């Protein structure tokens, strides 16, 4: 699973990893984490600024090859960055037709 959020355009991208005990023992978790770090480092060449990325390794990552893990990482990053760039910012307005967001009339 990969989550992406935009941060300031001039700020360097940040990548965090979550590898729980469900992935495997300490040796397996560290292997998965090292592989994910390398995949993240490779992606910084194209997304060097403006992104905050969180990668949550699923148990299947323990048995995945490096090529499969890299392919899955790149595909998930492409989907989330495309979704992020296509989303419109939410309105900060809390008023709708003279009512509050809960639907109660304004006093």
pTM of the prediction? 0.74
pLDDT value at position 99?
Answer: 41
Determine the length of the chain.
107
Distance linking the first and last C-alpha atoms of the chain:
45
16-39 pLDDT, tens digit each: 999 999 999 999 999 999 999 999
Q: How confident is the model at residue 85 (pLDDT cuts 50, 70, 90)?
A: confident
pLDDT at residue 47 above 80?
yes
Radius of gyration of the chain (CA): 19
pLDDT value at position 90?
Answer: 46
Of 11, 62, 9, 74, nearest to 38 by C-alpha is 74
Q: Assess contact for 36 and 73: CB atoms under 8 A.
A: yes
Of 18, 13, 15, 16, nearest to 61 by C-alpha is 18
């Amino acid at each position: 699973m990969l989550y992406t959020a935009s941060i300031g355009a001039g700020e360097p991208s940040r990548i965090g990893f979550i590898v729980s005990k469900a992935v495997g023992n300490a040796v397996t978790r560290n292997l998965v984490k090292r592989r994910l770090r390398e995949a993240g480092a490779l992606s910084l060449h194209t997304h060097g600024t403006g992104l905050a990325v969180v990668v949550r390794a699923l148990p299947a990552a323990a048995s995945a090859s490096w090529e499969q893990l890299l392919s899955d990482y790149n595909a998930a990053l492409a989907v989330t960055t495309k979704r992020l760039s296509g989303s419109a910012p939410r309105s900060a307005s809390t008023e709708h037709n003279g009512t509050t967001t809960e639907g109660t009339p304004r006093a």
